[in-house]
Structure 1
Amino acid sequence: MPQSRSAKSGELGFIERINNSGLTGFVHSTFKRTINIHCHENGELFTIASTQIDNGPNTLVIHSPSLEEFNIDVNDAVYVKNNVLHISNKLAIFTNQADKWFSILPEYPANTENINRNLKRMVEYIDIHGKAGGMKEKVVGQSPFEAEMSKLLEERTKLLLEGLLNNRMTSALHHAVSLIGLGPGLTPSGDDYLVGLFMIINLRNSPFYLHQSFCEEVLQNAKNLTNEISYMALKKASIGQVRESVIHLIYSILYGEEEDLFLTLNKVLTIGSSSGTDLALGLVCGLKANLKAGGQS
């Protein structure tokens, strides 16, 4: 008999796919807090997450602090039966009582004074509390390889920002693509940075909202330049879908006070080894571009 767990919450589309028996596949990868499933129907990755992970695109959070206890293996079969998601004969997940969640970004405000103020606070906070090793360079103990990687990340993000600030989108596209797959981590630093940037471009009413096609053009180049897990994050981000903690941070930047900003920013900075910091710096890049395009500096 498989172990059974109920889902605490899940992305609306994922739950609907289970209820419509529209998911068969296999286990793509396993980690302590997440299990990734490759879906035969659309080729996307779906994630089963422990309670230590927040809501996200294609994600189902189940009532378990760790997923190691289920002994799930790569290539285990995944299927739906009677509205229950099964992973081989090891785990059955019930979604009938799960809270349904969907990624919705806030709108960009007409008055950008709060953004200007919070952006300065955010940069200062990341400088002090952000995790080094990706976009933020290590101060000590850096190997020659890490030093070269930091140099490349710094150079390419600077050129990308310059392209965006000066509305040279062809140049910006070239430098954005050069970041894909670059840097350490399961989701490379360059990819995480682009996820943050994509979020800001997808803010309704923002100056760069008209450049949404930029995200799709970057994505078209990403498939063969990075791994499947990171590609899925980029794919979802290109249409404005991201983890709940990141949405809370964006809302705090646009509308929140200092306390809200630091609380939500700190949560994002804890993501991965340096992923949260890399993503947050991508948000900074997009916000600077929006402020410049809107006549702010």
Structure 2
Amino acid sequence: MLYTLLSHEYDNAPNSCRIALRHCDKLFSPGEPVCFLQDGIEVGQNKWIDLSHCHLWQCFECDLTEENIKDINWYRWGQWINQHAMSGNSLFDYCGDNIFYQEIAVQLQRNRSALLKAMRCNENFEQVIHSLIGLGIGLTPSGDDYLVGLSVILMLPGHPARKYRETFLNALRKAREKTTLLSAITLEAAINQRYRQVIGDLIGKIVRDDRYLIIHTINEIKKVGSSSGCDMLFGMADACFLTAYFGEHYANQDHC
């Protein structure tokens, strides 16, 4: 398990602590011992993080019902989110001339399409999830970030796709060594409905069908990492399209 210290400029996140510092990268050194105590965290021999006045943050919680699932225009939400994801920086939508990135983009789109098709047809798709995990570059590869975005919506309590939760977890267990520790922990947390506050803000708007400041909320997600935010948005958009396919009355079932 990883525990992250964040500056006050970042949003809240699981297994993290926001501290009142703008920069803290020069305060800590690799290999320093860390001790978690009741009122704080002791780092090394001369640093103490006081938690006695901290406020506990909890992830957004939502239980879907058959009634509110039908009341939400999932397809339109998918369109909005997908449109903004395409305007950002993502290997899913790579248009440059780097041959390596071009090949990754082809594999991402191929595996993405295979996963959506298998889920629509209720086929065994564990191997497709396995093929997406670790696909990409950086601390959290694009395939993982996409699955994070997909999971935060499909694994909502009450969602018809939540029955696939064990399939996602099994695929992650088998493919854990293919990706980074940070990415594997982040994906597992998302499957278990633990994710960053900015993600929860957008899910809350979707569930309440609240379009107020939607562009601001989406833009905040796009700021996550160099491309992670947009990769997650592609996953969230596809989750909305799949939800529409699973039963929303104005769904375009050929979109995915």
Give the structure-2-normalised TM-score: 0.90
Alignment-derived partner of residue 254 in structure 2: none
* Pairing 1:180-199 to 2, within 5 Å after superposition: 180-199=133-152
Distance 2:58 2:35 in 1: 23
Alignment-derived partner of residue 10 in structure 2: 53
- Determine helix, strand or coil for the equivalent of 2:69: coil
Q: Larger relative contact order (C-alpha < 8 A, sep ≥ 6)?
A: 2
Indicate conservation of the 8 Å contact 2:62/2:156, yes or no: yes
Alignment-derived partner of residue 79 in structure 1: 35
Does residue 166 of the first structure (1) align with residue 124 of the second (2)?
Answer: no
Write the deviation string for residues 45-82 of structure 1: whole angstroms up to 9, x where unpaired.
Answer: 11111112211111111111111241x12211101346
Letter in 2 for 1:156: N
User: What's the Cα RMSD here?
Assistant: 1.7
Distance 1:82 1:243 in 2: 24
Does residue 276 of the first structure (1) align with residue 229 of the second (2)?
Answer: yes
Letter in 2 for 1:161: L
Indicate conservation of the 8 Å contact 2:140/2:183, yes or no: yes
Indicate conservation of the 8 Å contact 1:165/1:289, yes or no: yes
Gaps of 5+ in 2: 252-256
Indicate conservation of the 8 Å contact 2:130/2:175, yes or no: yes
* Pairing 1:1-297 to 2, within 5 Å after superposition: 44-70=1-27, 72-81=28-37, 83-108=39-64, 109-127=68-86, 129-132=87-90, 134-137=91-94, 139-140=95-96, 142-168=97-123, 170=124, 172-296=125-249, 297=251
Indicate conservation of the 8 Å contact 2:153/2:236, yes or no: yes
Indicate conservation of the 8 Å contact 2:151/2:191, yes or no: yes
Letter in 2 for 1:279: M
Shift of 1:179: 0.7
Distance 1:82 1:254 in 2: 36
CA distance change for structure 1 residues 260 and 166 in 2, over 3 Å: closer, same or farther?
A: farther
Gaps of 5+ in 1: 1-43
Indicate conservation of the 8 Å contact 1:135/1:153, yes or no: yes
Write the deviation string for residues 233-280 of structure 1: whole angstroms up to 9, x where unpaired.
Answer: 012112110001001011122324434321111100110000000011
* 4+ residue runs over 6 A deviation: none
Aligned length: 247
Distance 1:201 1:135 in 2: 20
- Determine helix, strand or coil for the equivalent of 2:92: coil
Higher deviation after alignment, 255-264 or 233-242: 255-264
Distance 1:144 1:162 in 2: 27
Distance 2:56 2:37 in 1: 20
Decide which structure has greater strand share.
1
Distance 2:186 2:114 in 1: 23
Decide which structure has greater helix share.
2
Distance 1:164 1:275 in 2: 23
CA distance change for structure 1 residues 85 and 174 in 2, over 3 Å: closer, same or farther?
A: same
Identity, % of aligned pairs? 25
